[in-house]
């Protein structure tokens, strides 16, 4: 999981120019006010677990509660969503033993028990329009 979440930091800063299709809006719930940045990305199967992403967004100094991120002009296809609440702005997931020490989110993340596969955390962007998903943040206590 460390590898996945560390890659989110790099992936969130890289963007590509895909063909026009639709917008993907992610509603992150349970965001905590811990300073730093939220590094978010959409990755294709080929980019998954790599230091690149089809789309990336950075939310500076996120507030507690709900945060919406919209990725514009996302080409149809399958994508995985990842978020890292990089509270110390070092671009990497801080670990607390074997557990994440900073906030993170992935689609279906609440059911993960090990390093995820693309199929466990992916969703489809149809050619016909936009996608809206709600994804809860996870924080260690």
Give me the percent of the chain exceeding a pLDDT of 70. Answer: 86
Task: Give the helix ranges, DSSP H, for 38-104.
Answer: none
pLDDT digits (tens, 9 = 90+) for 83-109: 999 999 998 888 888 788 899 999 998
Strand order, beta sheet including 65-74: 65-74, 22-31, 131-136
pTM for the complete prediction? 0.81
Backbone angles phi, psi at 97, to 5 degrees: 70, -120
pLDDT in the model for residue 67: 97
Class of domain 2-136: mainly beta
For 34, the token pair is 């811990």
Q: Bridge-partner residues for 39, per DSSP?
A: 58, 84
- Structural domain spans, the chain: 2-136
């Amino acid at each position: 999981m460390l590898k996945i979440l560390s890659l989110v930091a790099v992936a969130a800063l890289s963007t590509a120019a895909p063909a026009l299709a639709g917008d993907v809006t992610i509603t992150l719930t349970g965001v905590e006010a811990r300073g730093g940045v939220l590094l978010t990305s959409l990755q294709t199967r080929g980019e998954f677990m790599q230091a690149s992403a089809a789309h990336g967004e950075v939310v500076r100094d996120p507030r507690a509660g709900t945060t919406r991120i919209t990725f514009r002009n996302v080409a149809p296809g399958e994508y995985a969503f990842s978020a890292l609440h990089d509270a110390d702005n070092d671009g990497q997931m801080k670990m607390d033993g074997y557990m994440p020490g900073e906030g993170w989110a992935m689609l279906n993340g609440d059911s993960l028990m090990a390093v995820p596969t693309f199929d466990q955390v992916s969703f489809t962007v149809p050619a016909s329009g936009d996608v809206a998903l709600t994804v809860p943040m996870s924080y260690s206590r």
